Structures are given as C-alpha cells and as structure tokens.
Amino acid sequence: MWEASQNSRNSSMKMPESLRGYLRTWNEWRRVPVVMQTRSNDCGPACAVMTLARHGHLVDLDSVRRRTRPGLSGTSAKTILKVMESYGLPGLGIKAALEDLPTLPPASILFWGSDHFVVLVSADTRYVRVIDPAIGRRKLSLPTASQLYAGSALIFRGEGRLT
C-alpha cells in the first residue's frame, strides 16, 4: 500500500518509484498504436504508420504502402525516411548500440535481424519493448534483443526537433 502523507489533511498518497516507472512504460505502450503488416514485405510501411501516428499524423497503411512501393524484399530505410519527410516528419538514420536504445526517442524504427523493421516503444537496463508489425507488442530481455537488433535506427523530428 502507498504511504499516506502525514502533512496533508487529505492524506494524499505517494506513489512508489517502481510504480511510476511501470505507469510511464504503460503510457508509452498506449501512445504507439499497433499496425500489423498485411503482406510479407509490409514491415517498413507498417512501422512508418505507427511512428507517424505517435507523432500525430494519422494515415492508413495503404497510403504509405503506395508511397513506399515495397519490392519483393520490402522497403529500404532511405525510402522510409523520404516518405516520412513527405508527411512532415523528417528523420535521420543512425548507428546505435543496444545500450543506446534507452536514449532513443519513442517510436524510432529499428532494423531487426537482416530484413525487418520494428518500432521502439521503450528500453531500459533489462528490457526492450517494441512493436513488431508481424507479431504485435513484444517485451524482450536484453540478451534476446541483442540477437535481433541489427545496430541501426531511424529517429524522427516532431515539431522541428528530435523527439
């Protein structure tokens, strides 16, 4: 049970730090919608839709798919960046170590494995939370994430600044 404050007449409650962290993670999960890929080569467009939605740009998967025109092997990071900029969300491709994921903005797009994209929801010293457009929401331990994360990310600017 939370401690009641002795100084308050209303006996306001102090929330434990561990619960605050849990609620921050829960709120971030809710702020990035899940968009499932409908074709095997749709992970890039699906991730773009999720990231756009996180930044307030509501577009549908078909619209983004038409702009990216994914080939048999999917969509390139360069194409995703161009399409995101066409929607008013400029971005940047970066190299980032697994340990750097907690510093990346929510809704960054991560290169996963050798041919897949996922959306970063959050990361800390124990877990990486992503939305995989082929599977849905995933909470992965760092050792598991290290086997999947390819070391590259796309980060995006919201309202003219990196968010």
Active site residue 43: yes
Question: Active-site residue among 35, 43, 83, 84?
Answer: 43
Close Cβ partners of 144 (under 8 Å, ≥ 6 residues apart): none
Strand 136-141 with 127-132, pairing: antiparallel
Alpha helices per DSSP H over 1-159: 17-31, 43-54, 61-68, 77-86, 142-148
pLDDT in tens, the chain (163 residues): 334 344 444 445 554 555 454 444 445 545 788 999 999 889 999 999 999 999 989 999 999 999 988 777 788 999 999 999 999 999 999 999 999 999 999 999 999 998 999 999 999 999 999 999 999 999 999 999 999 999 999 999 765 444 4
Considering the entire predicted model, what is its pTM? 0.79
